[in-house]
Chain A
Amino acid sequence: MSTYDSRRGGTALAVAATDHPDMQPAFDPQQFRAEVRAFCRDSLPPDLAAKSRRHEYFSKEDRIRWQRILHARGWYAGHWPQAYGGQGWGPLQRFICVEELEYTGTPWLTHFGISFAGPVIYTFGSDSQKQRYLPGILNSDTWWCQGFSEPGAGSDLASLRTRAVRHGDHYRVTGQKTWTTMAQWSDMMFCLVRTGAEKRPQQGISFLLIDLKSPGVTVRPIATIDRCHHINEVFLDDVEVPVGNLVGREGDGWTCTKFIVSNERLLVTELGKAKRLLEELRVLAAMTRDGDRFVAETFSFRRRLAELEVQLATLEALAYAAVSAAEGGVAPGPAASVLKIRGSEMQQAIFDAIIEVLGHGGLAFQTEAIAAECHAYRHGPESQAGLLFEHLHSRATSIYGGSNEIQRHILAKAVLGL
């Protein structure tokens, strides 16, 4: 019986991505992939590896530990220009690295610093800002979060109302940000604020770096259906922010936002995570009973798995087509909204199958085991709490980062010209 080998697919496509004779990469995709995979297996500390197997939610300290290990290897900011401490990787190398980091189950790289704030600062920021903030991002001394959404500005982000009023050498900022991931761990928040009242709302938005220890900042947790605390409201009550924390000029906020979104496009596919989860699903099905058989032996499961394989192979092809184009100098652009849509749907489909398998044994949800090892009585496999958390959390993948409805709107307008 042949089984889908996720490694073969990715490698072949990665090699194909660089087949163009004028575009020989400075690295060997196959070899690099193998290197990253081996490094992750060898260098992920055993306690973190154990957490990963249990699908336990990593702590801030866990993530920082891993980020520093990766940075010591030169791979944490591999995609940054060499001038700023990176290795100047192209999109393909970056994609392969992230894919393998996800596939091997290492702590999810929180992109707010390393993929968003950092690149915005070295692209649009002043020398002073680069000196002040880039080192802390690279060595994980500074934890960043993203202050974009507001209660009244979700999909319609441009309608945001947090106001920054200039008073000589500083701004006074008042407003409320919401759905702020990991704000409770954060030192800094990059924040979209309204500095002008131009006719087009996008034109009056500025990009401000806010120290969350400033007086007037309140971070309040939001309880979510996945029963693990990771998002927050951030209240800004007349917060004093130095003018030196404005990135670019007043009104450049929307340009910075579009820059971040375009950086996020390929990452949001989470291809490596999907591959890992599909293998996890197989393992679970092989050990879970369905009456007198194992779930993996049932025709309905095998057929379901086949559907998911097709979906994954298609997502992989789609992703590598986009990576290949990006490697050739064509920016992902609005067409990459497809990756966001299909990446989120893939994850949700796999988690739908996972929860059905877990359901055979009974859906206990022992939330105390999501973020900590639990030695009390446990019902079900040791990964159950973590997997249930992840299933519930996966419902957000089609909502955050621009909902799938918005992504379809973008495709309709920008690609189909409707």
Chain B
Amino acid sequence: MKTARPMDAASRAMLEDSLERYSREHYDRAAWRAFGREPDGYATAVWAQLGEFGWLGLGLPEELGGMGASLCDLLPLAMAAGRGLWRDPVLERLGFASGALLALPPGALRDRLLAGIAEGRERLAYAHHERSLADAAATLTTRAEARVGAHVITGGKSFVLAAVSSTGLLVSARIAGSADPGLFYVKGDAPGLTLAAYTTVDDRVAADIRFTQTPAELLAAGTATLNAAHTRAAILAAAQAAGVLQAVNTATLAHLKTRQQFGKPLAQFQALQHRLVDMHILQLESAALVQAVATAYDAQAPHLERQLWQLRVQSARAARVVTQQGIQLHGAMGMTDELPIGDYYKRILLLDSLFGSADTALERLAAA
């Protein structure tokens, strides 16, 4: 696989500007609410647009229609998605799905899917966990049995985001007669596929999926692909969280400067000033650490797994404090649906559930 080429400073600055302008012009609160009324909790038209801008293909190979940029160069996109509270499955498709596919050698199916992601045409969902979001490859019960020239999948997947609007699924399953798990591709209109959809805490849509002898194509056997998916997604999720924290801090600072009680703006109370500073520091740390881990990822550095646990601890703790204080410092207004402040908190709750708590990550670090 070709090593990613980092973007030059000018291109990077242009990208950040475009992202900022896009959120400002197309993702205000009214638009955010409207997108939420779509069947999958986000607008597929928006997804297609992100593809047209070339943003979806940023980190994908040039020969497949992408820009071949590094993961570091993807961070601004992930942060913008956090700042703007984008509903779109950036994490699911550019993190999990792309992470899995990029780990595979070039091949007809793999290339077609990646090219489709870059274009915004292929809307993949990543279906891995079953009874718990911490399911490791070893505990999967969904199984794949070989049929002539293909496989069929039977089992169930839980809490799959962006499944309702998906054109296809990447599904992990035990391969019958083998110790290895495998990653399979299932077409969106495959027979034997049923979805039960529901709203998530951050007002998006997830689904529980039942597979009954559903035809599937094997992409790869082994755990490496699943790990690659998780790794890429974990880093983009931490970047998204760092973006959410930026938005919380900006909003909270503005609120304290305007809200007056006891004859003066709340921003003049020193106790609150110091708290804002603490929130600011936590956000800086989150951005710095995700940058460091993304750099290590691009350099294929060893001990990346340990860095991912560190990132999880820092990101989870910082995000919990900042988003909860964001609500607190808005007073009762922080409890209303009128402001996005509560929705930033809910997004962080969702991200934390996908990647595990700080406590769990600390336990892993301590045990290793």
Residues of A within 8 A of B (CB): 149, 153-156, 159, 178-179, 222-226, 231, 288-292, 298-301, 303-304, 348, 352, 355-356, 358-367, 377-379, 388, 392, 395-396, 398-400, 403-405, 408
Contact = CB atoms under 8 A, between A and B. Distances in A.
Given A363-B201, A364-B200, A379-B198, A352 B320 contact: yes
Contacts of A378: 198
Contacts of B206: 362, 364, 379
B336 A291 contact: no
Interface stretch (B117-125, B167-175, B348-356): B348-356
Interface string B135-172: 11011000000000000000000110000000000000
Contacts of B345: 225, 395
B337 interface: yes
A154 B261 contact: yes
Contact of B134 (A290, A400, A405): A290
Contacts of B200: 362-365
A400 B335 CA distance: 10
Contacts of A299: 363
B360 A366 contact: no
B332 A396 contact: yes
Contacts of A304: 359
B70 to A, nearest CB: 31
A363 B337 contact: no
Interface stretch (B2-10, B104-112, B217-225, B323-331): B323-331
Contacts of B338: 223
B270 to A, nearest CB: 12
B181 interface: no
Interface string B201-239: 111001010000000000000000000000000000000
A225 B335 contact: yes
Contacts of B327: 225, 395, 399
Contacts of B158: 361-362, 379
B159 A155 contact: no
Contact of B136 (A292, A359, A400): A292
Contact of A366 (B198, B337, B357): B198
Given A225-B342, A366-B198, A366-B199, A355 B349 contact: yes
B332 A154 contact: yes
7 contacts: A159-B261, A178-B332, A225-B334, A300-B360, A300-B362, A355-B349, A379-B198
Nearest to B363: A300
Contact of B337 (A149, A179, A225, A290): A225
A67 B136 CA distance: 49
Contacts of B360: 290, 298, 300
Contacts of A226: 335
A179 B353 contact: no
Contacts of B196: 377, 379
Nearest to A299: B363
B165 to A, nearest CB: 18
Interface residues of B, number: 49
B131 interface: yes
B226 to A, nearest CB: 13
Contacts of B134: 289-291, 360
A378 B292 CA distance: 40
Contacts, number: 143
Contact of B332 (A179, A355, A377): A179
A102 B70 CA distance: 55
A328 to B, nearest CB: 34
B1 interface: no
Most chain B Cβ neighbours within 10 Å, of A298, A358, A364: A364
A399 B198 contact: no
Given A304-B359, A396-B332, 20 more contacts: A156-B261, A178-B332, A179-B332, A224-B336, A225-B342, A225-B346, A288-B132, A352-B320, A356-B359, A359-B353, A359-B357, A361-B131, A362-B206, A364-B206, A379-B196, A388-B201, A395-B328, A399-B328, A400-B332, A403-B328
A301 B356 CA distance: 12
Most chain B Cβ neighbours within 10 Å, of A231, A300, A392: A300
Contacts of A288: 132
Given A154-B332, A392-B342, A363 B353 contact: yes
A383 to B, nearest CB: 15
A358 B357 CA distance: 11
A395 to B, nearest CB: 5
A340 B199 CA distance: 34
B254 interface: no
Nearest to A398: B328
B284 interface: no
Contacts of B337: 223-225
Nearest to A294: B132
A390 B343 CA distance: 16
Contact of B132 (A222, A225, A291, A365): A291
Contacts of A154: 261, 331-332
B132 A379 contact: no
Given A224-B336, A291-B134, A298-B363, A362 B353 contact: yes
Contacts of A355: 349
A179 B334 CA distance: 12
B332 A149 contact: yes
B271 interface: yes
Contact of A360 (B132, B208, B332, B363): B132
Interface string B254-295: 000000011100000001100000000000000000000000
A364 B159 contact: yes
Nearest to A391: B349
A291 B328 contact: no
B133 interface: yes
B80 to A, nearest CB: 23
Given A156-B261, A224-B335, A360 B353 contact: yes
A396 B343 CA distance: 15
A261 B334 CA distance: 23
A395 B139 contact: no
Nearest to B355: A359
A225 B357 CA distance: 22
Given A291-B139, A395-B328, A360 B133 contact: yes
A377 B200 CA distance: 14
A311 to B, nearest CB: 15
Contacts of A303: 359
A220 B159 CA distance: 36
A142 to B, nearest CB: 26
Contacts of B328: 395, 398-399, 403-404
